[in-house]
């Protein structure tokens, strides 16, 4: 299955997942939650996800390394500061949190199954290949970082 590794941009995977959540929502019963609460909670969760995304993006820009997830071998620096002290993959975590907010907005927590699918796909076809590339580029420094910071949370 290496043919899928680092081939589809993660934001596109998140978009497809969100669309799948929306389309499947009609076939799965939803929970009746007052709209005001549902929207406020969905926005709060989504903003947390956007914060994770921006934290990762800003750290990459400050470190002057690539943000292109399709070419991890072009990384010029291992970023281990800022949000990268909490999670090795804040941008993917942010996308998963945004998708969780989408499930809340759709008022259907069963749709969280799609978030799990997103996480499984990104882990297998994006994160693992990225980690192999970073292992080659940064060796012991990356190995040490992997031991001290979790992949997701």
Q: Over the range 107-123, which residues count as b (16 or more CB within 10 Å of their CB) and which as e?
A: bbeebeebbeebbebbe
Tokens of 123: 């882990």
pLDDT tens, the chain, 153 aa long: 788 899 999 999 999 999 999 999 888 877 777 888 999 999 999 999 999 999 999 999 999 999 999 999 999 999 999 999 999 999 999 999 999 999 999 988 899 999 999 999 999 999 999 999 999 999 999 999 999 999 999
Backbone Cα Rg of the chain: 17
Secondary structure (3-state) at 72: helix
Distances (CA, A) of 134 to 59, 88, 128: 17, 12, 10
């Amino acid at each position: 299955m290496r043919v899928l590794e680092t081939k589809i941009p993660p934001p596109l995977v998140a978009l497809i997942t969100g669309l799948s959540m929306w389309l499947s929502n009609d076939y799965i019963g939803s929970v009746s939650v007052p709209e005001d609460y549902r929207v406020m909670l969905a926005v709060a969760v989504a903003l947390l996800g956007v914060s994770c995304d921006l934290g990762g993006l800003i750290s990459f820009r400050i470190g002057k390394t690539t943000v292109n997830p399709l070419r991890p071998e072009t990384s010029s620096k291992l970023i281990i500061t800022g949000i990268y002290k909490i999670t090795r993959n804040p941008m993917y975590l942010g996308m998963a949190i945004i998708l969780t907010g989408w499930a809340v907005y759709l008022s259907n927590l069963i749709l969280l199954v799609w978030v799990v699918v997103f996480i499984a796909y990104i882990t297998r076809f994006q994160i693992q290949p990225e980690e192999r590339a970073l292992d080659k580029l940064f060796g012991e420094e990356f190995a040490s970082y992997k031991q001290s910071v979790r992949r997701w949370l």
